[in-house]
Amino acid sequence: MATTMQEKDVRSRVLALLTEIAPDIDPATIDPKRELRDQVDFDSMDRLHFAVAISEAFHLDIPEQDYAQLGALQTACEYVQRRSGGS
């Protein structure tokens, strides 16, 4: 999968995954730059669910030490692009 995904496309897919694993979050209120745990009480289980959803949707193997990079919407999108957009 060497094709570089469009930034907007990644953003909307990641946001859709977020609302799927946390349907009690109103996506319109998410500030992409803030840590999810600070703005919507993301706990370790939410974070794991988010990592699993991203891993499955983008076919990425995400090691445990990378979870921290999925802490905010923006950093999660950057992580996905970096990992799936070729090396």
Partner 1 sequence: MQVEFRLPSLGADMESATLAQWLKQPGETVRRGEPIAVVETDKGLIDIECFDDGTVTALDVAPGTKVVVGAVLAHLSAAGAATASAPAAAPPAPEPRATAPAAAAPAAAAVPATPAGAPRDSARPGGHTRISPAARRRAQELGVAVEVLEQQAAGGIVHIEDVERLAAKAKPPAADARSGMRAVIGNAMARAKREIPHYYLEHTLDFGAARAWLAQHNAALAIQERLLEGVLLTKAVALAAARLEGFNGYFRDGRYERAAQVHVGTAIALRGGGLVAPALLDADRKDLGTLMREFSDLVARVRAGHMRSNEFTAATITVTSLGEEGVETLYPIIHAPQVAIVGAGRIAERPWVCAGAVAVRPLLHLTLAADHRVTDGRTGSRFLQAIAALLADPQRL
Cα(5)–Cα(34) distance, integer angstroms: 23
Name the residue nearer to partner 1 (CB basis): 51 or 77. Answer: 51
Name the residue nearer to partner 1 (CB basis): 2 or 28. Answer: 28
Q: Which amino acid is at 83?
A: R
Report, in Å, the least distance between residue 84 CB and partner 1: 15
Name the residue nearer to partner 1 (CB basis): 3 or 65. Answer: 65
Residues lying near partner 1 in the complex (CB under 8 A) are found at: 19, 21-28, 37, 40-41, 43-46, 48-49, 51-52, 55-56, 61-64
Report, in Å, the least distance between residue 51 CB and partner 1: 6
Do the beta carbons of residue 60 and residue 23 sit within 8 Å? no
Contacts 24+ apart (CB under 8 A), 56-63: 57/13, 57/17, 58/13, 58/83, 58/84, 59/1, 59/84, 60/84
Report, in Å, the least distance between residue 28 CB and partner 1: 8
